[in-house]
Amino acid sequence: MGKLLTLAVLGVAVALLGERLLSFWHRLAVSRELEPKRLPNCHLIKGIEYGSEDIDILPNGLAFISSGLKYPGVKSFAPDKGGQIFLMDLKEDNPRPVELRISRGFDLASFNPHGISIYVDNDDAVYLFVVSHPHYKTVVELFQFIEDDNSLVHLKTIKHDLLERANDILAVSPESFYATNDHYFSETILMYAEMFLGLSWSNVVYYSPNEVKEMASGFYSANGINISPDGKYIYVADLLDHNIHVFEKHANLSLTPLKVLPVGTLVDNIAIDPRSGDLWVGCHPNGLKILFYDPENLPGTEVLRIQDILSEKPTVTQVYIDDGSVIQGCSVAAVYEKHLLIGTVFHRGLHCEL
């Protein structure tokens, strides 16, 4: 009887693991292969070699690009020094990235920038919020951008228990923001277990100096976050659930779920076209390839444009697809007028004219 019970327990355990593995495989879209779909006017951006994980663009065409991310479970070819913020002026004829100087006293060596967000204050002061992982911990660095000087003045470092797995950030005032935590656990091994078991414990947190609290939860892996041009709706990309959540943002800053749009791919950062309100999403066509980098089987790039997301029938268009032969590991696609900038987790950046 004892042996029979052991066998039964083992049988159940194997079945459960098998079921989890299948569902994990599905979340990673391991068998997904796409035909390339190119745009006619694209070139790799000179000077960006080690990633361009997130991009945010000011109304005057200045694009901020975070580069040099090193993150557990994510490929990096970056040298053993700090990451950078690049600036590209899309109003110029041949925009080139320029590395922004950071004010003295800031620890450049451990700067490890991830999601970024710009906030322009009423007095036109420009603030840049940056999720950074110094020594693989997580903080938010707040800077003021000084345009005359191409520099960032460091204002403060924000660290909080509710931000330990912060990935992307959305500034809503000079000192407050929403951020996504892409997992519940910050320890790598537990993070993998969380992913493998398919737990939906990832969330969105609101931070202000007076109040920090969870505003939405139940994501498999909340990643990109952004806001509609009128400030009424917040969009959150769930990377492992292959969809975009739309929330209504109330005056008291709480979020009410409005709808979920399935898009069938691993959605990373979300950028907004300020003119049309369209969402532009940098996506990983195949999660296995981005998570387990293999130079013989490169992670590709997929860029989606989502129009009329609030309507009953939003239009989702695959604007650009590459198998990794041009650009690998896409994490963001941001537009400014006729410009499309495609950024990556660890690879280069692509500049296209639409």
Ligand X SMILES: *[C@@H]1O[C@H](CO)[C@@H](O)[C@H](O)[C@H]1NC(C)=O
At its nearest, how many Å lie between ligand X and the CB of residue 250? 4
Q: Which stretch binds ligand X (CB under 6 A): 174-182, 248-256, 262-270, 325-333?
A: 248-256
Question: For tokens 């080690």, what's the residue?
Answer: 50
* Per-residue interface string for the shown chain with ligand X, residues 254-293, x marking contact by CB under 6 A: x---------------------------------------
At its nearest, how many Å lie between ligand X and the CB of residue 13? 43
Q: Can residue 338 be called a binding residue for ligand X (CB under 6 A)?
A: no
Q: What angle do CA 25, 240, 182 make, to 5 degrees?
A: 130
Q: Can residue 250 be called a binding residue for ligand X (CB under 6 A)?
A: yes
Output 210 or 252, the one with its CB closest to ligand X: 252
Which one of residues 94, 122, 252, 311 is an interface residue with ligand X (CB under 6 A)?
Answer: 252
At its nearest, how many Å lie between ligand X and the CB of residue 208? 14
Q: Is 114 among the residues known to form the active site?
A: yes
286 in a known ligand binding site: no
Output 248 or 337, the one with its CB closest to ligand X: 248
Output 254 or 276, the one with its CB closest to ligand X: 254
CB of 169 closer than 8 Å to CB of 143: no
At its nearest, how many Å lie between ligand X and the CB of residue 256? 7
Q: Which of 114, 183, 245, 284 is catalytic?
A: 114
297 in a known ligand binding site: no
* Positions in the binding site for ligand X (CB under 6 A): 250, 252, 254
Which residues does the annotation mark as catalytic?
114
Binding-site residues for Ca(2+), in ranges, read: 53-54, 116, 167-168, 223, 268-269
